[in-house]
A and B are shown apart, each in its own frame.
Chain A
């Protein structure tokens, strides 16, 4: 009875069998989840590619005696055979263009669907929800025809434009905007704000959780594209880093030291991106999608 009067969150329980099991399982899961990533970072700092593999089975995988950035120097060029600097730049360009265009275009559409006055909005909305079922993989072959007939093969445009507008993100924005109070919208129109202004200066600043969620989801998607760039890029010009790293596997024996350094290069930007947005992300993510 007394603990009912307290807030729903109880103070930490005393140490008992249950809590010990709980702590051990968190620790084990953390070990399984994190140690491979940690190993990757450590290995990328080791110079000797044979030592990397030899160290892997022991605790030496988690320790490096004399860390060196040689591997990064070797792969980080902007031209030549190991031009991962260039591939990284390409991927960053694709990431930022896709996400920034995507945030604007999908949120504008979501806003009009939620608060606009155009006839047929309900129809467009249900069409968009239906489109969500189509997997990217199942349209990729005809998309290849369209994009290459348009003369866009081996360009950045071909890797950005098709993925900017998305049924899922338009719907997420629609859902977020629709649950904001009506008074907000009415106050803006009484003040004589245009609908564009209402979207940009009233609703967008209030949409940080939605913006963060869509940014992270779109960012991960754009950063990790693999199949599409393989089909559409033929030269280094617009090749993203994911495709470049995969070429390590085509060789007879893999240069693990270089592959590890290139992988770390690929992880760092998305890690920064994630850490910047994750505060809003975890709280808002798919709380909405589960309902929908």
Chain B
């Protein structure tokens, strides 16, 4: 018995003798709040979601016991056309928002990284949409998108001399997702801009000077110094934007409720509808497990790519 208990005892004694009881308890006390809260509110629900996903758990407790249903929820999700529509929609959204949002962020960062009067003012100003709540953004863009006489339609009409017919931005299934892309990119690009700025400032000035001595012009420096130096930043920005895009919810829930004709239905909106409005918590948990797996795959791809570029 004593032989079995020696190893842990010895280890514990060694840290206590090394730092003493008061310090040991202090360290535990300082680490514990974060660990406990993360365990209760992050790890537990995460593990629970895998269990709930295999049951027919309702939102409000019912007298009938919760039944284990195996992979039934997953099978039903995968045979639901609306789920595939929502998955296709967020993919479409991602493919649109990546070039628009990251492109805008990259261009702005390129400009702001140069010597420019009022540079810091612009930098602070261009980040303002990113601190604006999505709900407020929806109020603003809800007015801009008004059909048929909203500001965007009027601008289009006057630019084209009346040749472009007013667009029903949020009411036309062909346009609704694109409109969501516009307002989302406008709202969130500030984050990507700052990440790009940080990346650009990480490129040593000596590299630019060396390129200049070698006779590289503005374009040469851009292609052979800036772009290679930003490779990890590009990967990081593309991945966080993709993950963000797959979680698309608020703007859709407020402005279109997934419509018209399910053209803006998203995975998270589908999940909330199943879990909250239809009260099928087990089913919704299965959707959330699928969402987690998607995000996990994207994050793993990022890790692969980052490792390759860091070498």
Contacts and interface: CB of A to CB of B under 8 A. Distances in A.
Contacts of A195: 23, 26-27, 30
Interface string A120-149: 000010001001011101111111111000
Contact of A40 (B136, B150, B254): B136
A90 to B, nearest CB: 14
A124 B35 contact: yes
B136 A266 contact: yes
Given A56-B146, A117-B19, A118-B31, A142 B52 contact: yes
A270 B132 CA distance: 8
A190 interface: no
Given A22-B111, A109-B30, A117-B15, A57 B151 contact: yes
A142 B49 contact: yes
A29 B108 contact: yes
A165 interface: yes
B278 interface: no
Interface string B20-38: 0011101111110111111
A141 B271 contact: yes
Interface residues on B, range: 35 or more
B27 A116 contact: yes
Contacts of B19: 117
Contacts of B262: none
Contact of A25 (B111, B146, B194, B296): B111
Given A8-B205, A33-B186, A118 B44 contact: no
Interface string B248-290: 0110011100000000000010011001100001001100110
B136 A165 contact: no
B299 interface: yes
Interface in B119-162: 122-136, 138-144, 146, 149-151, 153-155
B107 interface: yes
Contacts of B112: 26
Interface in A8-32: 8-10, 12-13, 18, 22, 25-26, 29-30, 32
A39 B140 contact: yes
A144 to B, nearest CB: 8
A8 B132 CA distance: 36
A34 B150 contact: no
Contacts of A52: 143
Interface string B28-67: 1111011111101111111011001000010100000000
A66 B285 CA distance: 53
A234 to B, nearest CB: 12
Chain A, interface SS category: helix
B308 interface: no
Interface in A252-290: 254, 256, 259-260, 262-263, 266-267, 270-271, 274-275, 278, 282, 285-287, 289-290
A106 B150 CA distance: 46
Contacts of A267: 132-133, 136
Given A116-B31, A124-B35, A290 B232 contact: yes
B218 A274 contact: no
Contacts of B276: 230-231
A194 B142 CA distance: 56
A238 interface: no
A199 B199 CA distance: 30
B142 A254 contact: yes
B33 A282 contact: no
Contact of B30 (A18, A166, A196, A223): A196
Given A165-B34, A287-B198, A37 B132 contact: yes
Interface string A192-214: 00111001000000000000000
Contact of B15 (A119, A165, A263): A119
A113 B142 CA distance: 46
B295 A135 contact: yes
Contacts of A216: 131
Interface stretch (A70-78, A176-184, A241-249): A241-249
Contacts of B195: 285-286, 289-290
A105 interface: yes
A282 B268 contact: no
Interface in B178-224: 186, 194-195, 197-199, 201-202, 205, 208-209, 213, 218
B107 to A, nearest CB: 7
B243 interface: yes
A2 interface: no
B68 interface: no
A282 B43 contact: no
B11 interface: yes
Nearest to B34: A109
Given A30-B125, A146-B48, A242-B135, A140 B299 contact: no
A103 B1 CA distance: 45
A33 B193 CA distance: 13
Nearest to B41: A162
13 contacts: A10-B115, A29-B108, A52-B143, A56-B154, A111-B30, A143-B45, A145-B45, A146-B41, A167-B42, A226-B249, A245-B135, A290-B199, A290-B236
Given A165-B37, A245-B136, 10 more contacts: A57-B151, A57-B155, A141-B52, A142-B48, A144-B281, A145-B45, A165-B34, A231-B276, A245-B135, A263-B136
Shortest 9 CB-CB contacts between residues of A and residues of B: A57-B154, A109-B34, A165-B37, A8-B205, A142-B45, A162-B41, A142-B48, A138-B292, A139-B45
